[in-house]
Structure 1
Amino acid sequence: MRRFLACSLAVAVFPALAAPAAAETREDEQVWVNLTAMGPIAGDAVYFAEVQPRMGDGASRLDQLLLRGAIGLKLSPAVTLYQGYAHIVVPVDGGRDVNEERSFQQLGWFMGKPWGGELSSRTRLEQRWRSDGGDTGWRLREMLRYEKPLKPGTNTVNALVYAEGFLALNDTDWGARGGFDQLRSFVGVELGVKDATTVELGYLNQVIDQTRGRTRMNHVASVSLFFRH
């Protein structure tokens, strides 16, 4: 398992480290809010639904609004397979909003409890369509997440870190280019609120390859509420 974790992190991080040193980098301060509800439907069937407003330009305006939901099937206590759909709105100053539609397949895997914490993986394959083009973009995402109680024997406050690498699988007429797409890295805490409801607070760094030597780096204050029933 340790070898798998090391290899996966290397795959996610290496493209970002390999970017040209002279590349132009634009930076922004953002605030992302994530409201997610999840739980069982019947038997081994489960669901999740989320709303994510993301504020950009120094957190002064709406940069994206993401609506996403999925229905899944628990294949085992540790593995769940989902089929989902997402609608994303990207406001454009002085122009028509860009809309993106996504279908996705997701595999969630609880990998175990190494080093006194919990390690999990999320693999997501996306099919993307945008209103400013006609092509279908394919993208693969892999997240590794680790959380550990700060006070042994309780889950009231957990230290939380995760990394998620994005790989575009093809070029499109609306701007996607095959290869490394972006890397998200998070460090923060998970707080138990009531029953199974949790809040995650922390700093997220997002590095996006915009091609032609241009890179965008977003410094994000991330707030997520997960309501489980």
Structure 2
Amino acid sequence: MSPIRHLLTLAAALALATPAAAQVDHDLSTWVNLTATGPIAGKLIYFAEVQPRVGRDAEDVEQLLLRPAIGVQATPNLQLYLGYAHVEEPAAGENEERLFQQATLFVRDLPGELQSRTRLEQRWRTDGRDMQWRLRQMLRYEYPVARKLAPMASVEAFVALNEPDWRPRSGFDQLRTFVGVELGLKGTSTIEAGYLNQIVDRAGPASRMNHVLSVSLFLRH
């Protein structure tokens, strides 16, 4: 079985493992991601992201996410980061602040490239007092088929590790599954575009499923 099929099989298994809901609310969204990344000095590295997310049938800005991080190139295939994220939610009138620690591992001795990203978040929201711990695990695989063209797929599971006052339960939080293509640009910069499916556990009887047109620009230097 190919690595992409492994990822999609894992996504299906995780989706079946999510809590059952009486109904699912569907929405159409557009997410745009601009990420700059590169070395600072020696083994010091950084990334900085700006992500507007338009939802409610692609009509309203639901989130604007700003996420910088600084890290070290621990080995040629392992990056360790410490970062901060500010999330504005104009439609809901709320904000969220996050600290996070991240380990990104690249496996390159394959046909294509496999990436594992593990992120631990500490989250505070303006509609509550408590801090939430959340674990995120992503697997991403790309397989070049031509110069500067690589089909790709990824799956990312989110798990709440405690029960803050603004989300009084732990366990499954959300699942994101992405299928698309990576296009090479000048130098090592790339653009990724495709379909992202997001399943979100919410309070009440209904979960939410977002059908997302996702476009990401990675500027590397």
Q: Is the Cα–Cα contact under 8 Å of residues 13 and 165 in structure 1 kept in the other structure?
A: no
Separation of aligned partners in 1, 2:167 and 2:91: 16
The reply on whether 1:144 has 2:143 as its aligned counterpart is no
Counterpart of 1:99 (choices 90, 95, 98) is 95
Q: Which deviations, in whole Å up to 9, do the C-alpha atoms of 1:90-141 show, x marking residues without a partner?
A: 1136xxx201000000000002332x21001000000000011100000000
Q: Give ranges in structure 1 of 5+ residues lacking alignment.
A: none
**Which residue of the partner structure matches residue 48 of structure 1?**
47
What is the alpha-carbon root mean square deviation over aligned residues? 2.2
Deviation at 1:196, TM superposition (A): 1.1
Q: Is the Cα–Cα contact under 8 Å of residues 168 and 176 in structure 1 kept in the other structure?
A: no
Counterpart of 1:175 (choices 163, 167, 170) is 167
Q: Helix, strand or coil for the counterpart of 1:17? A: helix
**Which residue of the partner structure matches residue 218 of structure 1?**
210
Separation of aligned partners in 1, 2:189 and 2:169: 38
> Against the structure 1 CA distance between its residues 194 and 208, is the aligned structure 2 distance closer, same or farther, given a 3 Å change threshold?
same
Please show how residues 8-87 of structure 1 align to structure 2 within 5 Å.
Answer: 10=10, 13-19=12-18, 23-87=22-86
Separation of aligned partners in 2, 1:140 and 1:223: 24
Deviation at 1:215, TM superposition (A): 0.8
Please show how residues 94-173 of structure 1 align to structure 2 within 5 Å.
Answer: 97-114=93-110, 116-151=111-146, 154=147, 156-173=148-165
Instruction: State how many pairs are aligned.
Output: 219
Deviation at 1:19, TM superposition (A): 3.9
Q: Helix, strand or coil for the counterpart of 2:185? A: strand
Deviation at 1:176, TM superposition (A): 5.3
Deviation at 1:35, TM superposition (A): 0.4
> Against the structure 1 CA distance between its residues 83 and 59, is the aligned structure 2 distance closer, same or farther, given a 3 Å change threshold?
same
Separation of aligned partners in 2, 1:172 and 1:13: 28
Deviation at 1:165, TM superposition (A): 0.3
Deviation at 1:172, TM superposition (A): 1.0
Identity across the alignment (%): 56
Q: Which TM-score applies when normalising by structure 1?
A: 0.89
Deviation at 1:209, TM superposition (A): 1.0
